[in-house]
Structure 1
Amino acid sequence: MLTKSLIILAVAFGLSQAQMVKQCTCSEVEPCKKGYVDSVIPCADSCQEHAAALGANYQQLRQCLMQKEPMLRAAMSCTEGNLRDACAASPGQMVPKRYPETLKIAAMSEINRMLSRAGIASQAKGLLSQGKKLYGCMKTCMDKKSGQCAKKLGCGLKLPSDSQLVQQAKQCAIQSGFNTQSVQQLCHCAQQSGIGALNGLCEKIVIS
């Protein structure tokens, strides 16, 4: 969940890697970032058909996610704390442009690695496929609700490599409470909401 949120924020501020672009100032980023963060739950509601496609009762699933919202916000704050230099205090700095797709690939690689280590990669394939559709729906919705502010800014952030960014987000998630037990609880809650594809998977999840 944190990884998806991070990807959405990263995509919002135009991650790519070759040409140089002006670095976003913190005063530019803050209202835009707030617009994206505030749109997460409304957009999840708008994209609920993707959860329904998995058999979930969306209101039950929503409650599962809302129970973890304080932990999610803590994880996001932790990640932001590790990226204090991402935006500039004053204009004039340049940063390498970054591609959103490369961060998405790095995040998916880490998710697949964790699923493979748990021995559930093949069983979770359908869930990941639907998750990608949900991500696409969420991104479109959040771009729209934020008034396309990130695109209009036309600037970039100073960030570590995609793999480092994913690992930082993962460690922040763990520190904020998304450990094996907590994620298994969330999984069981989602399973009870009607997602039959999770049967037999939750107890195998290991966060490491």
Structure 2
Amino acid sequence: MIARISGILMHKQPAQVVVDVHGVAYEIEISFNSFCQLPAEGDTAVLHTHFVVREDAQLLFGFSQLEERSLFRILIKVNGVGPKLALAILSGMDAHAFCYCVQHQDSATLVKIPGVGKKTAERLVLELGDKLASWQTGDNGGGQSGVIKPTLSTVSAQSEAESALVALGYKPVQAAKAVTAAIRSAPHGSCEDLIRLSLKGMI
């Protein structure tokens, strides 16, 4: 089991990063929430990981916070929820928001996440209600204050934000509309800012 990766962040995008550890480059799939907490490319990144071995692939999933990895591991135990869908759920909303939806049986909001259908949303609420009742999250002071935001023009940020939302499973038209609305709220926002506002607006 690979539980933690620490190395030089060679490349990052909302759904995936590449981290160099003493000459060995690890391709790691991440949630958008973890992406927002990454340092700049070229700096040292630390990710808590979950290693999945399948017949056709070996996949490494990374998380900036232990709490998010903990929730990921709870999600993949739900019938019909695999690692990819679990990561999509954690990209669609943060851990606190997800727990709130489950505890308040708000399956209607969960359905808005790409890949989550009505039956899956209802199953999440049903199976995780008791499990998440005593589960707590905490940012351990990590917050967003330590995020290093890239300097991008508004046009570039808009384009990258739309591409990121499409990569997360949203339709191009839906992504463009959401990012346009986000720009009205944050005209000079970074790519991460626009994605975060877009996701909030769609949920």
Relative contact order (C-alpha < 8 Å, sep 6+): which is higher? 1
- Does the pair score TM above 0.5? no
TM-score, normalising length: structure 1: 0.27
- TM-score scaled to structure 2, two decimals? 0.28
Answer 1 or 2: which has greater helix percent. 1
Q: Which has the higher strand share?
A: 2
